[in-house]
């Protein structure tokens, strides 16, 4: 998702107390940034931030970090934080390819991937956030008992992701092809894309994986 250039987006992002500039300086020091040792959960490709903001409101004892590639999208998340009074949310504009530059070994307890871009062409498969290549990156930053949780309505991408979990040597804890009618739906927070696609009648797939 790349939105039209939003005038003033960069300034708004820089001025927001929730957005982090030069996140590399916080590698290994995120607890210091939050002022506590609560677990850190991140969403990679958070889009306009509905999910992560709601999660931060519901779970004040978890620190949330949202990562988004484009300022034109991130600014929509920043706008949503206007009335948010918690201190457990940070937003970063960056490409997740470089995620190891901003988190140290085992610094993250959970990684959410919600409705990640499918990159349908085979030659772009490595760009998928659920490719084995990305799982290798997640392996470095995730705690040994951490989890990756992936939701999508794209069945092809989901089946690819199930395979990639195994290919990366990870373990599939559970999965469903119809989250909203499954035992895993309790407490589910819907993302912007999830609302859009489930309203069209698309079943939502979800998997949870952990590393060896
Ligand atoms: N997670 C949101 C949701 O479920 O409503 C947004 C889904 S949208 C289809 C995918 C988002 O991931 C886009 O905003 C896109 O810019 C972002 N994205 C894709 N690849 C990324 C990457 N390598 N690093 C950071 N963000 C990325």
What residue segments make up the domains of the chain, in order of their start? Answer: 1-35+42-102, 105-212
* Crossing angle between the packed helical segments 50-58 and 71-80, to the nearest 10 degrees: 30
In CATH, which of 3.40.50.150, 3.40.470.10, 3.40.190.10, 3.40.50.80 is domain 105-212? 3.40.50.150
The reported pTM is 0.97
Ligand 1 contacts CB of residue 45 (under 6 A): yes
Euclidean distance between CA atoms 34 and 212, whole angstroms: 28
In the prediction, which pLDDT does 8 show? 84
Ligand 1 contacts CB of residue 207 (under 6 A): no
Mean pLDDT of 5-13: 84
Instruction: Answer whether residue 125 shows pLDDT above 90.
Output: yes
Instruction: Answer whether residue 55 shows pLDDT above 80.
Output: yes
Q: Do domains 1-35+42-102 and 105-212 have the same CATH topology?
A: yes
| Mutation test residue for ligand 1: of 45, 54, 100, the one with most atoms within 8 Å of CB | 45
Confidence bin at 15 (pLDDT 50/70/90): very high
Euclidean distance between CA atoms 204 and 140, whole angstroms: 28
In the prediction, which pLDDT does 171 show? 98
Please tell me the total number of residues recorded for the chain in this structure.
212
CA angle 87/146/209 to nearest 5° reads 125
| Mutation test residue for ligand 1: of 6, 42, 47, 157, the one with most atoms within 8 Å of CB | 47
Instruction: Answer whether residue 5 shows pLDDT above 80.
Output: no
Ligand 1 contacts CB of residue 131 (under 6 A): no
The residues assigned a catalytic role are 117
The ligand 1 atom nearest the CA atom of 67: 25
CATH number of 1-35+42-102: 3.40.50.150
Euclidean distance between CA atoms 28 and 116, whole angstroms: 26
Mean pLDDT of 18-26: 97
């Amino acid at each position: 998702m790349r939105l039209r250039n939003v005038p003033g987006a960069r300034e708004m992002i820089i001025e927001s107390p929730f957005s982090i500039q030069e996140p590399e300086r916080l590698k290994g020091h995120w607890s210091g940034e939050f002022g506590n040792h609560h677990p850190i959960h991140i969403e990679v490709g958070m889009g306009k931030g509905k999910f992560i903001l709601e999660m931060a409101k519901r779970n004040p004892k978890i620190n949330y970090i949202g990562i988004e590639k484009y300022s034109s999208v991130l600014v929509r998340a920043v706008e949503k934080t206007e009335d948010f009074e918690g201190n457990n949310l940070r937003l970063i504009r960056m490409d997740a390819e470089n995620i190891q530059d901003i988190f140290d070994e085992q610094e993250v307890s959970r990684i959410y991937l919600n409705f990640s871009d499918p990159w349908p062409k085979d030659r772009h498969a490595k760009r998928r956030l659920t490719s084995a290549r990305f799982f290798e990156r997640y392996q470095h930053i995730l705690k040994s008992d951490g989890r990756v949780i992936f939701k999508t309505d794209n069945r092809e991408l989901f089946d690819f992701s199930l395979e990639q979990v195994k290919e990366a040597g990870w373990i599939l804890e559970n999965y469903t092809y119809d989250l909203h009618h499954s035992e895993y739906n309790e407490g589910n927070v819907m993302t912007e894309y999830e609302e859009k696609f489930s309203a069209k009648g698309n079943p939502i797939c979800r998997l949870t994986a952990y590393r060896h």
